[in-house]
Structure 1
């Protein structure tokens, strides 16, 4: 299905998207709004999220910008409080904030860069999911989507921090899914594969031959599909747009 096929499919829903100020997060935020959701666009940069939320409102959608630092639990908790105060609840969460700091080879790596990568990619997702659960329970269920990476499936010299953080995120996704399934909360991983964003140098990074290099908008149909599944639907699953995984 194409994005236009989901018109009205998220009416009455509230979606919170971290890392929503640019790239994949921005594209999905705008698509969810077009599908009828009220969208909380969250990231560190107020300038970026203000612009995305403004674009959504200009297009006739409903959105608010909410600055957040996902590495700080209190900041994430405040984000949800603002979302609930503005829109009455939370139904869909996309833990999309991420970083690919250049930590280097393990033997000579910048250990602090390693730790900082985990703070955003793993602990940021943990904070985002954990703080969402009480709000999703109050709605009778909901969806948590984790933005994963195909890098977790194969070693790549120099990217150990990023790849390892995403592998840990995959285990977090599966474990959390089992822990909250009784509350009708699904938890799944969305792997975009290579996308032209700032993180990939807008497509200049090295990827396996034959890989599908996408624009952020190419990730939207899968994100809409996952957001519109029934409450008792797929969970603890990985949905990938990677062309090659081995």
Structure 2
């Protein structure tokens, strides 16, 4: 396969990526655009995804930025409707939005932060998948990738909310894969491993666009 073919293997596809304003989501958005896909970048903060969308377009790609909170189902539905309206449909969904808000042991944890972590990491993924499915079905096929974590099977002090939400995402992935197989929609979980991002506390560094 030539370098051009490798870079253009998503030409004609439309990808929607949540949590695309920073970290892993930002990198995935760039990779999809480099491979030829039209990319809809979404996050709660519109400025971050607008910046990424402008970078993709400046490099010759097609992109749009849509603000949406994945914990809000109507807003998530509106995200996919906007993506389909602008680019004619949706082929790829990357459910990447996630947080780690509570790092204390259970007995000292804040119940509200514990709940918010689960809402973003699990309910938010459910909302994303639920809102995307009708659009993928209209295409006759599709790819859904849920970003997970190895923490789902590793009990660590102070990580109960994050690990519990990721374990739920793991089971949701398997259930969706079985439910959508007949519709030719593949569902997979991607576990990137340790990555330097703002959420992991190591900060993040991006290579200049075009490198």
Bucket of the pairwise TM-score, normalised by the shorter protein? over 0.9
**Preserved CA contact (<8 Å) 2:102 2:117:** no
> What's the offset of the Cα at 1:153?
1.6
How far apart, CA to CA, are the structure 2 residues paired with 1:114 and 1:37? 36
Q: How does 1:11-90 map to 2 (within 5 A)?
A: 11-90=11-90
> What's the offset of the Cα at 1:192?
0.9
TM-score by length of 2: 0.93
Deviation per CA, 1:148-177, whole angstroms, max 9, x where unpaired? Answer: 001112100001100110001000000111
Change (3 A) 1:98 1:131: same
Indicate the residue corresponding to 1:187 in structure 2. Answer: 187
> What's the offset of the Cα at 1:13?
0.3
Once superposed, what is the RMSD of the aligned Cα atoms? 1.8
Indicate the residue corresponding to 2:174 in structure 1. Answer: 174
Dislocated runs of 4+, deviation >2 Å? 3-6, 214-217
How far apart, CA to CA, are the structure 2 residues paired with 1:100 and 1:107? 17
Task: Provide the secondary structure at the position in 2 that maps to 1:98.
Answer: coil
Q: How does 1:86-125 map to 2 (within 5 A)?
A: 86-125=86-125
How far apart, CA to CA, are the structure 1 residues paired with 2:155 and 2:108? 17
**Preserved CA contact (<8 Å) 1:197 1:216:** no
Q: Which runs of 5+ in 1 are unaligned?
A: 204-213, 218-246
How far apart, CA to CA, are the structure 2 residues paired with 1:146 and 1:10? 18
TM-score by length of 1: 0.80
Number of aligned residues: 206
How far apart, CA to CA, are the structure 1 residues paired with 2:22 and 2:198? 9
> What's the offset of the Cα at 1:6?
2.5
How far apart, CA to CA, are the structure 1 residues paired with 2:191 and 2:27? 15
Indicate the residue corresponding to 2:141 in structure 1. Answer: 141
> What's the offset of the Cα at 1:7?
1.0
**Preserved CA contact (<8 Å) 1:103 1:111:** no
**Preserved CA contact (<8 Å) 2:101 2:113:** yes
How far apart, CA to CA, are the structure 2 residues paired with 1:177 and 1:102? 30
Indicate the residue corresponding to 2:157 in structure 1. Answer: 157
